[in-house]
A and B are shown apart, each in its own frame.
Chain A
Amino acid sequence: MDLKKLEEIPKSYLKEILGALSKLEKLKKIPFFTGIHFKDAERDLAQKIESYKKVERDAKRVWKIVELSRNENRPQCLDYINGIFEDFVKLSGDRLTGEDRSIVAGLGKINGKTVAVIGHNKGKDIKQRLEYNFGMSIPQGYRKSQRIMRLADRFGFPIVTLIDTPGAYPALEAEDDGQASAIAKSILLMFEVKVPIIAILIGEGGSGGALALAVGNEVAMLENSTYSVISPEGCAAILWKNPSGTKLAARELRLTSRDMLRLKVIDRVIPEPIGGAQNAPGRMVKIVKKYIIGALERFASIPGEELKSRRARKFESMGFFSTK
């Protein structure tokens, strides 16, 4: 066997292939088997190698999407807010202990109707990124979001969320302030409100920090955004115990918009301009605006109780298992 063929195989699969190879070579050396052809075994092995190469190619393809989802020139929450909502007023603070700038929240108008808008903002240059803490939120952010959602619920304003976060901020102060409970309460509140919730993943949908804004009647993802229970880096560190597993982890986690649609975790994929949203930010904002107007119309005539119970039914039916 030409060992060069093995170069494109992910390292974690190599052990299995090398094991099978050496077994085959050993068998061939036993005099008893002389003259017997090992064609079938060799073909099976070659097929396996090909399929593992496909895994590697696939991982590279998925990784490109991960990179696109993190591209700093993609339109961000504030770009959408400025380009879509009229008379937008930013609201600040959780009225308890502070203001978390990683989450932008406020009221604005779209198509003549007032809506509440809540989203993660990552920032574009290093100065902004530090200001917005890279879109990683602390309990104050989630509690501010809850405050605005309650406000929207009282006045019957639909809620639009724009999700773009690597995840909740893992810091001592955040933990001391009850990060877990803040995220859980956000999720809980999204099952209580009686106004439509439209959730749009515009970049990175990182774990609980993303879900805290994503319990929507309709959940949409931009074509090259991602949604994942853990970052590929984090997953590789835990399961592969090695950063070399990062791209493979990205593939295994099935974090692309297409995967989400197939798994019925989201309702729609919003197409991006060719090559990605960063190539034509203005067009991207227009496409999202059109989507939001359509989504709000779809839910406009549905009674509040029905909106609430539909959300519960939708999320409570998620999961794959067998019953025997």
Chain B
Amino acid sequence: MEKVKCKNCTKDIENEIFILNLWVCPYCNYHHYINARDRLQITVDSNSFIELGKNINSDDFLNFYDVKSYSVRLKETKLKTSLDEAVIIGEAKIEGNDVALGVMDFGFMGGSMGSVVGEKIKILSNYCIEKNIPLVIFCASGGARMQEGVISLMQMAKTVSSVNRVKESKIPYITIITNPTSGGVSASFATVADIIIAEPDALFCFAGPRVVKQTIKKNLPPDFGTSERNLKNGQVDMIVNRNELRSTLTNMLKLFKE
């Protein structure tokens, strides 16, 4: 039997139990990384997801080269993750309720937001306005994608403008903060939602702990940036366990329906 080690309590978990428990440690309830495809599977009604914006691909328009070129990084990441980009968007049903759904994946270049993520959030926003269905986005991101320079910074404005039109159309907008959500994504579409739900233990901040520690030259409290601290500070509406997210979302969607 294959086993995985919990990143938090370091106990061995049988792989099968780990997956049945939705990648959550059965001993300490630590919520581990879950990829976008698995997230879709555990969130939406079976066979209800129709993907949108599949034809949009990132471009190395700056010829960005650090120790590797951006185009090579993209190719490698696509192979490794079998994803096209850091977000999947589409229409789906959750317990029969129609939603426009976006799911980010931290595994794709740290869930970083470049032109494609920005454009997909815009397409998804337009789609939910057109269909008049709620907008739900699972966030997971290290921030803006540096390889796209200032254009990635502009995606913050682009996504905020897109979801602002959703809000103006009086369509409910819900984000789910998953581990980690920081930088350009946390300071844009993630935090302007009507309802912000966080998974337990998720790091949710603008500047990451390393940068903050460097600046203030002091040790940070152990709960820096966690969902729990954010709840205490009034930055999220609630913390919901992964196995209860589907029912919480369903309930919320029903409340917004007249």
Min CB–CB distance B231 → chain A (angstroms): 12
For B184, give its contact among A188, A229, A259 (CB under 8 Å).
A229
Residues of chain A lying within 8 A (CB to CB) of residue B188: 183-184, 187
Q: Does A76 count as interface, using CB distance less than 8 angstroms?
A: no
Residue of B nearest to A251 (CB): B65
B contacts with A, residue count (CB < 8 A): 63
Q: Are A175 and B57 neighbours in the complex by a CB distance under 8 Å?
A: no
Complex Cα gap A208–B225 (Å): 18
**Given known contacts A170-B212, A175-B212, A316-B161, is B59 in contact with A321 (CB within 8 Å)?**
yes
Residues of chain B lying within 8 A (CB to CB) of residue A181: 187, 191-192, 235
Complex Cα gap A320–B117 (Å): 11
Q: Mark A241-271, 1 if CB is under 8 A from B, else 0.
A: 0000100110011110001100101000000
Q: Does B233 count as interface, using CB distance less than 8 angstroms?
A: yes
Q: Are B150 and A323 neighbours in the complex by a CB distance under 8 Å?
A: no
Q: Are B157 and A315 neighbours in the complex by a CB distance under 8 Å?
A: yes
Complex Cα gap A61–B244 (Å): 55
With most chain B CB atoms within 10 A of its CB, the pick from A254, A320, A321, A323 is A321
Within 8 A of A (CB), among B127-180: 144, 146, 148-158, 160-162, 164-165
Within 8 A of A (CB), among B179-194: 182-184, 186-192
Which stretch from B10-18, B23-31, B203-211, B250-258 is at the chain A interface? B203-211
For A208, give its contact among B59, B156, B158, B189 (CB under 8 Å).
B156
**Given known contacts A179-B187, A180-B190, A323-B57, is B146 in contact with A239 (CB within 8 Å)?**
yes
Q: Does B62 count as interface, using CB distance less than 8 angstroms?
A: yes
Q: Mark B37-78, 1 if CB is under 8 A from A, else 0.
A: 000000000000000000111110110111100000000000
Residues of chain A lying within 8 A (CB to CB) of residue B207: 168, 170, 174-175, 179
Q: Does B1 count as interface, using CB distance less than 8 angstroms?
A: no
Complex Cα gap A175–B212 (Å): 9
Q: Are B157 and A253 neighbours in the complex by a CB distance under 8 Å?
A: no
Residue of B nearest to A317 (CB): B158
Q: Are A180 and B191 neighbours in the complex by a CB distance under 8 Å?
A: yes
Q: Does B115 count as interface, using CB distance less than 8 angstroms?
A: yes
Q: Are A265 and B215 neighbours in the complex by a CB distance under 8 Å?
A: no
Q: Mark A300-324, 1 if CB is under 8 A from B, else 0.
A: 0000000000011001101111111
Q: Mark A178-197, 1 if CB is under 8 A from B, else 0.
A: 11110111011001100000
Residues of chain A lying within 8 A (CB to CB) of residue B222: none
Q: Does B96 count as interface, using CB distance less than 8 angstroms?
A: no
Min CB–CB distance B227 → chain A (angstroms): 13
Residues of chain B lying within 8 A (CB to CB) of residue A319: 114-116, 118-119, 151, 154-155, 158
Q: Is the interface of A mostly helix, strand, loop or mixed?
A: helix
A contacts with B, residue count (CB < 8 A): 56
Q: Are A316 and B158 neighbours in the complex by a CB distance under 8 Å?
A: yes
Q: Mark A189-223, 1 if CB is under 8 A from B, else 0.
A: 00110000000000000011001000100000000
Q: Are B150 and A239 neighbours in the complex by a CB distance under 8 Å?
A: no
Q: Are A263 and B215 neighbours in the complex by a CB distance under 8 Å?
A: no
Complex Cα gap A7–B211 (Å): 33
Complex Cα gap A319–B233 (Å): 34
**Given known contacts A183-B187, A235-B146, is B156 in contact with A188 (CB within 8 Å)?**
no
Q: Are B161 and A260 neighbours in the complex by a CB distance under 8 Å?
A: no
Q: Are B149 and A229 neighbours in the complex by a CB distance under 8 Å?
A: yes
Q: Are A253 and B150 neighbours in the complex by a CB distance under 8 Å?
A: yes
Q: Are B62 and A254 neighbours in the complex by a CB distance under 8 Å?
A: yes
Complex Cα gap A185–B153 (Å): 15
Residues of chain A lying within 8 A (CB to CB) of residue B19: none
Min CB–CB distance B30 → chain A (angstroms): 22
Residues of chain B lying within 8 A (CB to CB) of residue A174: 206-207
Complex Cα gap A252–B61 (Å): 11
Q: Does A125 count as interface, using CB distance less than 8 angstroms?
A: no
Complex Cα gap A191–B234 (Å): 24
Residue of A nearest to B212 (CB): A170
Residues of chain B lying within 8 A (CB to CB) of residue A180: 182, 186-187, 190-191, 204-206, 235
With A187-B187, A252-B65 known, 10 other A-B pairs at CB within 8 A are: A168-B187, A170-B212, A172-B218, A180-B190, A181-B191, A208-B156, A240-B66, A260-B150, A263-B151, A323-B56
Q: Which A-B residue pairs are the 3 nearest by beta carbons?
A: A170-B207, A319-B115, A180-B186
Ordered by A's residue number, 14 sampled pairs between the chains whose C-beta atoms are within 8 Å are A171-B215, A172-B218, A172-B220, A180-B205, A181-B235, A184-B190, A215-B157, A240-B66, A255-B149, A265-B154, A318-B155, A320-B148, A321-B58, A322-B56
